[in-house]
């Protein structure tokens, strides 16, 4: 029997102001997208901005539905649109920000399991890591270098 520790590097920035100019712009694009979320049931608004390797930024936000499971998270709205509109173009960085109408969220919001799986598919497909930034409404920003970092031992098509 062997034991192995799986670790990953998480960069923690005190605020959006500490980010590089490129990352700062991308997170601000996510903040703008967050404001357009359709979240009347949860009052929890999520915005995402995706920087593609051709320089295009694709944004998305959560879209809820009176039939709750029919809604979709911001990350999947954005990444499916990127895949649909720019097939074959690499994904460089994804910025995620979330807040609640009921309170000010100052903790970085990490993507749910379904979104990690969906983003992981594109990372595996492009054979290149996708960097992720996460932020609440404001405050600290977490950045990791790859979706695989926060979805270790993920499922992918090689198992099929």
Please return the burial class of 63, using the count of CB atoms within 10 Å of its CB with bins 0-12, 13-18 and 19+.
middle
Instruction: Kindly indicate which of the ranges 21-29, 73-81, 85-93, 123-131 contains the residues binding ligand THU, using the contact rule CB under 6 A.
Output: 73-81
Q: Does 64 bind ligand THU (CB under 6 A)?
A: yes
Instruction: Kindly indicate which of the ranges 67-75, 78-86, 138-146, 148-156 contains the residues binding ligand THU, using the contact rule CB under 6 A.
Output: 67-75
Q: Does 136 bind ligand THU (CB under 6 A)?
A: no
Nearer to ligand THU, 44 or 80 (CB): 44
First to last CA, the chain: 27
Helices (H), the chain: 21-34, 74-85, 113-126, 147-150
Contacts (CB under 6 A) with ligand THU, residues 6-45: 39, 42, 44
Residue choice 23, 30, 31, 75 for contact with ligand THU (CB under 6 A): 75
Residue choice 13, 49, 51, 62 for contact with ligand THU (CB under 6 A): 62
Q: How many CB atoms lie within 10 A of CB 123?
A: 22
Tell me which DSSP letter residue 139 carries: S
Strand duo 141-144 + 44-52: pairing: unpaired
Q: Catalytic positions, please? A: 75
């Amino acid at each position: 029997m062997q034991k192995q520790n799986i670790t990953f590097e998480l960069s923690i920035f005190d605020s959006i102001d500490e980010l590089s100019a490129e990352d700062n712009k991308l997170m601000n694009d996510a903040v703008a997208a967050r404001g357009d979320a359709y979240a009347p049931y949860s009052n929890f608004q999520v915005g995402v901005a995706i920087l593609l390797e051709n320089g295009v930024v694709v944004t998305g936000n959560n879209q809820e539905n009176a039939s709750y499971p029919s809604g979709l998270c911001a990350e999947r709205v954005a990444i499916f649109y990127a895949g649909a509109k720019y097939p074959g173009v690499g994904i460089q960085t994804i910025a995620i920000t979330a807040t609640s109408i009921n309170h000010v969220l100052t903790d970085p919001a990490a993507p749910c399991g379904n979104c990690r799986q969906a983003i992981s598919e594109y990372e595996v497909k492009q054979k290149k890591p996708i960097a992720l930034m996460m932020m609440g409404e404001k405050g600290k920003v977490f950045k990791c270098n790859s979706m695989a970092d926060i979805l270790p031992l993920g499922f992918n098509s090689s198992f099929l």
